[in-house]
Structure 1
Amino acid sequence: MVSLWGNKKNSTEDEDDDGNRPTSSSESREARESRESRESNTRQSGETNERTRLLQQERVPGYLSPDDPAVSPYNLWSVRALRWFEVVFLVITFLWWVLLLVSIFVSPPRFNSRGSGFFDFSYTTLTIGNILVALIFFAVPSSAMSILSMSISVLLLIDMIIILAVPQIRIEEGWVGIASVVWAALIAFYNVIANRTVKWGKAEEEERLTGRSETRRTVKEWLAILIATIIMVIYVIIVVLMTAVLVLRSRDATLQAPGEKFLVDGDQYSVHVACEGNQTFYDDGSPKPTVLLEGGYMPVLNGMEDWVYNAHQNGTIDRYCWWDRPGIAWSENAPSPHSAGMSANAFTEALAVKGEEGPFILVGAGIGGIYTRIFSARNVRNIVGIMLIDALHEDFLHRVASPGRGFVLWGRGIISPLGFDRLAGALFKGRTKEDRVFGKSSYQGGKFIKNKLQENLVADSLTRSEVVSAKNIQQPNVPLVVITSGRHVKQDQEWEKKQEDLTKITDNLLGWEIVPKVPAEEVWATQEGRDRLEHWLGKLYQARMNSTVVDEA
């Protein structure tokens, strides 16, 4: 048995301390000399790789040339392990990136970001870029790379603190956004460690194999360092911009909503509803109508609510309510896809939770007219009047759904976390948090852009189907008023024909008026427009279900 064990030991293929394989007792002298000759030729030619054991000084007197491929930090298993982990992190991050990209268009269960979903996507895109730079320039470490990587990691840590510390941002970003920024910060710190380790390993191997640490660099190495530094500087600028936008968002979060926020659709997101005035009653004890406002392209508070407030102050109406559609002003983003009918359901649910029972007079402007008509058809018993202000006809939904518009919205959404326009407005134009939340700059926010992208994706499919169905369900005796912009009619000849078609959605038209010299959708932008709107709203308010009003303005 001892003899057998000895033979097995002698036949092993492991190398000895000098880098030679011990010969077996059965190996012939000719075979041994042939093998040693091949090994000598390989060493002299300089052909080596990570797996080739380096020659020791005892066998080859003197040091290797600094240009010898054997002089490499990859000789260290720790360096190779760090690079292997970088590849694993890249694969994981890329899969996460794909999932976030898909979720913008179709949200997986419990994967909805209430704050647009563009911030988490941007953090993940940045992480992929960070890993790629680390892999491409892995063997060329530099102090500039270490400093810039550390700057990125510190800034990402600040972003993580802001997201976690501000309740509204924490809710809007959700676990998806938090996970994305935490992962981005961890990868940035890992790259700092990897860069320093490779730098140490490079110096270690150079000193061991060439006799000293190499301080010179080739032109190729300097070019690689320059390219890597430029890219990392761009990354630092990107993170600085994202941090500044987060600071703006935290400031905007201090702006109190005038109404209340209600969780809807299985508590997936919240919408904002506000009311002005108290419920009043007719002499017979029945409640007077509450006017419900549905905004157009911009939020209700961006001009539309002003003339209704004046009508309330003048005693034309007693009470009105309005809401922000998902993604607009104080309302959070809904999961994708999201159609007009889904918004109508969310509004119905929020009103029910709030305790609003109607009856309602609906006022919709622009594309809000689509939402108003769907809401009316789904709440037929509580609707006692409809007012459409330069409303969009369903035959124009293909314009909203155009692929070019969708691509532009998607592109705007992707770069929205950088806040070029919002930061410039805050720094140079004096834009306030009111401007950014519901005012003239609100269209620049990621939530707003996500809302418009969701409209675009389903406008000519789900939404069109819903509004066509609503046309068939609509109660024919509901009093109707249609107001049209004179400028819009002049700009688009088809607009007037479709406005006339809107006057036929019920059989009880109180009036159709084309107001000259007022902007498209924003009829309330001029004093004449506000006066005509208040006049016709008063007509609707006075009308009762099944009544016929024949007097003209």
Structure 2
Amino acid sequence: MTLWGSNNKDHDEQPNGDDTNMARSSEDRPTERDRLLPEQNNRRSDGYLDPDDPAVSPYNLFAVRAARGFTVLVLAISFIWWVLLFVSIFISPPGLHTRGSGFTDFAFTTLTTGLLLLSLLFFSAPSLAMRVCQSTIAVLLLVDLIIIVAVPRIRAEEGPPGIASVTWTTLMAGWCVFTDRLVAWGKKEEEERLTGRPETRRTLKQWLAVLAATIFLVIYIIITILITATLVLRSRDASLQPEGQRYSVDDGKYKVHLACIGDSPSSSNKNSSTPTATILLESAEMPLEYDLEHWAYAAWNNGTIDRYCYWDRPGYAWSDNAPSPHSAGMSADNLADALAQAGEQGPFILVSAGYGSIVSRIFSSRNYKKVSGIMLIDPLPESHLSQIGSPTRGFLLWAYGIISPLGIRRILGALFAGRTREDRVYGVDADQTGKLLKAKLQENLVAQSLTKSEISTSRSIQTPDTPLVVVSSGIETGRSEDWGRGQKEATGITENLVSWDVVNKAPHFVWETLAGRTVMEKRLGQLVKAAAKMPTLHVGES
């Protein structure tokens, strides 16, 4: 009995097993400050860990791990936005079309992706140099945001996608500064807790990481400075006002510029049953104000013509970029829309050069009752649409467009070559702007598909009795048999050829030589007289 009682007593004195396990599990439950690695013989005599111990890491803190996870999340969001903007350069999804080039918002998003990726690569190696560089970038981006929002023209060109991109980039630059500071704080906290003091030395690997991150960030600073300087130039250029007006086309998606010089036919020919034709100019491969308009103005001053109108295709000079894809036929429709809004009813004599001749021919076929004459100046042969649409040319245009927000040549031209607003908007530096590069890229993308089909159709419906003048470059026809053959084919667009001249020593832009300008003005005068004899044309007839 005593033995049984003793055993029972001993049993009664033992604590309940479940209670013991619960108490032990409560006491042993890990926290974020517990070691992540098993105990090893790496503690110093004072009980602290060696500074090189892997357990000494800012990742021990939940706040640091959460910041890294959030950085991965925003990097994924930025990459998705980057892909959408990349696609919109070639095919504009609904809501992502910008009236500007579409390269600026893409540049900001690329910068965002680079900053976040760099932050992740060197996340556990914070440094003061990185925070200073990131803060500098954030301030510059804030300036960019202010410029885009404050200047009405730039704000309209960049639109919601551009404003959203620069805002997101500014926020992410600030986030990178915050995370670097957070990791630096977490690193110090863990070093004090586990080693007894904050670590001031760095290993060679850590110094190399800091150096690499700083070099990349300095490059990002230079890129941001160039983008900011380009935006400053764009704000300066936005103050240059064009002749004429800008008209909304394609259901108000973008605007094109149209201007007319001289008295309207209704006011200058009240007593004439036959209205005087208006010369309608179409540019070649550069904005028309840079070249052909000067010649037309001289012809108007000389009395050769009574009136002329000119416009800018989408992406040229003062006209906005159109959504992608955009063909020559779409440009012709834009021109017809703008003329209707301006109250210009014709009749028109179309004067065009280079690639613009493709647009004019399509316009003529679609509006043949309003066209009383056609003058082609070294027109682009249809066979050369394959060169306009070549993949190599398209890639180069895209590459130049991608770097166009940096504006290196525009900045150097403004600082050292005395380039003016006029030079950048429609002059010698116009081909460095993202808008014109985007327009040429659009021409490239559809040259062998939509545009080729449109120009082929225009041959079938072009009225055969329309007076036609062709003036060709002697240099280009002598250089290429295919080009010369294309000039001869152009003389057969209609059956009423007034004249065909090949101007010796004249370049593709024939009007750049005195002989070219003289021949062009003489033939235009003959075309005006021939057009006046067209009996079936009436103002307003459609």
Give the alignment's TM-score, normalised by structure 1: 0.90
Q: 1:527 aligns with which of 499, 511, 514?
A: 514
Q: What amino acid is the match of 2:72?
A: V
| Corresponding residue pairs, total | 514
Aligned-partner Cα distance in 2 for 1:9–1:167:
73
Aligned-partner Cα distance in 2 for 1:138–1:457:
42
Aligned-partner Cα distance in 1 for 2:532–2:221:
63
| 1:230 equivalent in alignment to 2:226 | no
Match in the other structure for 2:204: 219
Q: What amino acid is the match of 1:93?
A: S
Aligned-partner Cα distance in 2 for 1:211–1:131:
33
Aligned-partner Cα distance in 2 for 1:544–1:171:
41
**Contact (CA 8 Å) 2:511, 2:520: kept in 1 or not?**
yes
Q: What amino acid is the match of 2:523?
A: W
| 1:345 equivalent in alignment to 2:341 | no
Match in the other structure for 1:536: 523
Aligned-partner Cα distance in 2 for 1:109–1:486:
46
Q: 1:423-469 CA distances to partner (integer Å, 9 max, x unpaired)?
A: 11111111001000001110010001001100000001110000000
Aligned-partner Cα distance in 2 for 1:537–1:325:
23
Match in the other structure for 1:310: 298
- Aligned-pair CA distance for 1:420: 1.1
**Contact (CA 8 Å) 1:479, 1:545: kept in 2 or not?**
no
Q: 1:428 aligns with which of 416, 433, 453?
A: 416
Aligned-partner SS, 2:333: helix
**Contact (CA 8 Å) 1:477, 1:545: kept in 2 or not?**
no
Q: 1:267 aligns with which of 246, 252, 259?
A: 252
Match in the other structure for 1:122: 107
| 1:363 equivalent in alignment to 2:351 | yes
Aligned-partner Cα distance in 2 for 1:139–1:372:
62
Aligned-partner Cα distance in 1 for 2:19–2:136:
55
**5+ long unaligned stretches in structure 1:** 1-5, 22-38, 47-54, 549-553
Aligned-partner Cα distance in 2 for 1:219–1:275:
70
Q: What amino acid is the match of 1:62?
A: G
Aligned-partner SS, 1:481: strand
- Aligned-pair CA distance for 1:187: 0.3
Aligned-partner SS, 2:163: helix
Q: Structure 2 vs 1, CA of residues 506 and 205 (structure 1 numbering), >3 Å: closer, same or farther? A: same
Aligned-partner SS, 2:500: strand
Q: What amino acid is the match of 1:222?
A: W
**Contact (CA 8 Å) 2:283, 2:356: kept in 1 or not?**
yes
Aligned-partner SS, 1:389: strand
**Contact (CA 8 Å) 2:462, 2:494: kept in 1 or not?**
yes
Q: Structure 2 vs 1, CA of residues 360 and 226 (structure 1 numbering), >3 Å: closer, same or farther? A: same
**Contact (CA 8 Å) 2:511, 2:517: kept in 1 or not?**
yes
| 1:163 equivalent in alignment to 2:148 | yes
- Aligned-pair CA distance for 1:212: 0.3
Aligned-partner SS, 1:301: helix
Q: 2:75 aligns with which of 86, 90, 94?
A: 90
Q: What amino acid is the match of 1:108?
A: P
- Aligned-pair CA distance for 1:69: 1.1
**Contact (CA 8 Å) 1:155, 1:240: kept in 2 or not?**
yes
Q: 1:62 aligns with which of 47, 51, 54?
A: 47
Aligned-partner SS, 1:534: helix
Aligned-partner Cα distance in 1 for 2:207–2:157:
44
Instruction: List aligned pairs for 1:75-86, cutoff 5 A.
Output: 75-86=60-71
Match in the other structure for 1:330: 318
- Aligned-pair CA distance for 1:284: 3.8
Match in the other structure for 1:488: 476
Q: Structure 2 vs 1, CA of residues 543 and 132 (structure 1 numbering), >3 Å: closer, same or farther? A: same
Aligned-partner Cα distance in 2 for 1:485–1:544:
24
Match in the other structure for 1:380: 368
Aligned-partner SS, 2:379: coil
Give the alignment's TM-score, normalised by structure 2: 0.92
Aligned-partner Cα distance in 1 for 2:37–2:337:
82
- Aligned-pair CA distance for 1:281: 2.4
Q: 1:387-442 CA distances to partner (integer Å, 9 max, x unpaired)?
A: 00000011110000111011000000000011111111111111001000001110
Match in the other structure for 1:202: 187
Q: What amino acid is the match of 1:44?
A: Q
**5+ long unaligned stretches in structure 2:** 1-15, 536-542
What root-mean-square deviation, in Å, do the aligned CA atoms of Structure 1 and Structure 2 show?
2.1
Match in the other structure for 1:298: 286
Aligned-partner SS, 2:222: helix
Q: What amino acid is the match of 2:503?
A: V
Match in the other structure for 1:24: none
**Contact (CA 8 Å) 2:37, 2:55: kept in 1 or not?**
no
Match in the other structure for 1:28: none
| 1:443 equivalent in alignment to 2:431 | yes
Name whichever of 488-497 and 164-173 sits farther off: 488-497
- Aligned-pair CA distance for 1:193: 0.6
**Contact (CA 8 Å) 1:120, 1:176: kept in 2 or not?**
yes
Q: What amino acid is the match of 1:541?
A: V
Aligned-partner Cα distance in 2 for 1:20–1:518:
86
- Aligned-pair CA distance for 1:301: 0.9
Q: 1:526-550 CA distances to partner (integer Å, 9 max, x unpaired)?
A: 11111111111111111137759xx
- Aligned-pair CA distance for 1:15: 4.5
Percentage of identical aligned residues:
54
Match in the other structure for 2:176: 191
- Aligned-pair CA distance for 1:285: 2.6
Aligned-partner Cα distance in 2 for 1:414–1:152:
20
Name whichever of 307-316 and 156-165 sits farther off: 307-316
Match in the other structure for 2:402: 414
Q: 1:401 aligns with which of 370, 389, 396?
A: 389
Match in the other structure for 1:51: none
- Aligned-pair CA distance for 1:115: 0.9
Q: What amino acid is the match of 2:90?
A: F
- Aligned-pair CA distance for 1:17: 4.4
- Aligned-pair CA distance for 1:496: 1.4
